[in-house]
Amino acid sequence: MTETTPKFSSSMFDEKPLAGQHAVITGGSRGIGAAISNYLARLGADISLTGRTQETLEAQAGRLASKYGVKVCTATGDMAVEADVVSAFDGAVQTLGPVSILINNAGIGESAPFHRMETDFWNKIIGLNLTGTFLATKQVYGAMREQKYGRIINIASIVGLTGYAYIAAYSASKHGVIGMTRSLALEAAKTGITVNAVCPGYTDTDLVAAAVDNIADKTGRTTEEAVADLVSTSPQGRLITPEEVAETTAWLSLPSSGAITGQSIVVAGGAVLN
């Protein structure tokens, strides 16, 4: 039997298994995206970050460069707008070279009862969470095929595997991301590219903090009661940390994870048994 060795043979036990690789993280300046950038930089990857706010991007870029000694590139823009996506990725490639790891993390999570949901609201959620994932992936996929190597990791959600009330648009967008993940993984199966989704439960981020404030404001409950309501869906009874999501994402980014593709990895304290 002939054994196939990955192009990069490093494993997670090597000191810098991602040295020489270029990772792009959309929505990378805060929350889960920032945590992922910390992990990938620690593993040796050079990092490009996209986001809407230059100040937070530059702050995170500075932390990565000073702490891990990697090269860092930033680009502001809306990942739902194709021109912004093209500009961001062109700049990243010109600065740091071909992309070998793409983390599609940029997203928005807002709730609305279906009978009050406007088309503009629906399009905003789908546009960033799903179309934005497509647009970013489109920018790197051709070059990855030429390189015969790549890691594409889409940050989805447990609501991409199930459904909760009042988040029909968000749930639909994440179901779409998982569907795209599975289909592209099959197309790319013999190209050296893997495509996976990470599906966090409610995570301790600014996004969830805003959701908690919204629940408390609309229901008259305290912040603590609102958090308890969110974590009640988890058998562990807690919020997930960004670092837990980041470590799973980093594992999927490794050269040694080449046999893992088309998967939806749940990081949710048992809230969804996949």
pLDDT of residue 203: 83
pLDDT tens by residue, 81-105: 999 999 999 999 999 999 999 999 9
Per-domain boundaries in the chain:
22-201+241-266, 202-239
What's the average model confidence in pLDDT over 50-73? Answer: 97
Give the domain 22-201+241-266 fold: Rossmann fold (3.40.50)
Tell me the residue type at 193: I
pLDDT of residue 234: 85
29 contacts 57 by C-beta, under 8 angstroms: yes
pLDDT of residue 5: 47
pLDDT tens by residue, 166-183: 889 999 999 999 999 999
pLDDT of residue 229: 77
Give the C-alpha separation, 30 to 7, whole Å. 31
- Place 237 in a pLDDT band, splitting at 50, 70 and 90: confident
pLDDT of residue 35: 97
Averaged pLDDT of the chain:
91
Residues with catalytic function:
170
pLDDT tens by residue, 129-148: 999 999 999 999 999 999 99
Task: Between 57 and 202, name the one with better pLDDT.
Answer: 57
C-alpha 45, offset from chain centre: 16
pLDDT tens by residue, 190-212: 999 999 999 998 887 777 777 66
198 contacts 252 by C-beta, under 8 angstroms: yes
- Place 227 in a pLDDT band, splitting at 50, 70 and 90: confident
Give the C-alpha separation, 56 to 30, whole Å. 7
183 contacts 198 by C-beta, under 8 angstroms: no
pLDDT above 90 (res 216): no
For 31, phi and psi rounded to 5 degrees? Answer: 60, -135
Tell me the residue type at 147: Q
Stated pTM of the model? 0.91
Nearest Cα neighbor of 97 from 134, 143, 44 is 143
40 contacts 59 by C-beta, under 8 angstroms: no
